[in-house]
Chain A
Amino acid sequence: SQQGEEDPQALSIQEGENATMNCSYKTSINNLQWYRQNSGRGLVHLILIRSNEREKHSGRLRVTLDTSKKSSSLLITASRAADTASYFCATDPDTGRRALTFGSGTRLQVQP
């Protein structure tokens, strides 16, 4: 079963605009990770935020985590056509089994 749910399911923006994707999850976590997947390819790790962190930056990416609301957001600033991909959040649950549980993803289309 999918632990996380991304919102929106699909997003279409113009180059240069910002893109915000949200993720909600259900159980306690050690960390939350965001991944990108280009069509027909494997997933690429973008950023990891630990349960005791509230915000993290990496280049044009900004991730926030609110453990009280069990939610996270990914902001991509100044988007580019190359950012077109599906984006997934994945939770590392606070249980003995350290297996990632992925959400259903947000499909981002950046128009040039």
Chain B
Amino acid sequence: DAGVTQSPTHLIKTRGQHVTLRCSPISGHKSVSWYQQVLGQGPQFIFQYYEKEERGRGNFPDRFSARQFPNYSSELNVNALLLGDSALYLCASSSMPGQPQHFGDGTRLSIL
């Protein structure tokens, strides 16, 4: 079975632009979470979706938004990009919240 897939793998944007990151969970998994990982630090929780509803939101500004589709795939959108948004964005899926999460390899976002 395929693991969690994320696209694109790398992305370069300039300040003020908008970005959309995509994630396909493991088949059968209904919970998707998004994390931001800055170099040298642990992942920081951004959003969690379960059964297409937002179940949790981390301490991120309203420029960050997400949604989950009927097939349980998910998108993370970031508007008005700042230099500080440069990071590895990780998507993780699980059968339900609280269960071990399976991570994709992330999208490396660089802001110039």
Contacts and interface: CB of A to CB of B under 8 A. Distances in A.
Contact of B42 (A45, A97, A98, A104): A104
A97 B103 contact: no
Interface residues on A, range: 20 to 34
A42 B42 contact: no
Contacts of B104: 42
Residue among A2, A42, A92, A104 with max Cβ neighbours from chain B (10 Å) = A42
A41 B43 CA distance: 12
A45 B102 contact: yes
8 contacts: A4-B42, A30-B98, A41-B106, A42-B103, A98-B55, A99-B45, A102-B45, A105-B42
Interface of A: 1-2, 4, 30-31, 33, 35, 40-45, 48, 88, 90, 92, 97-105
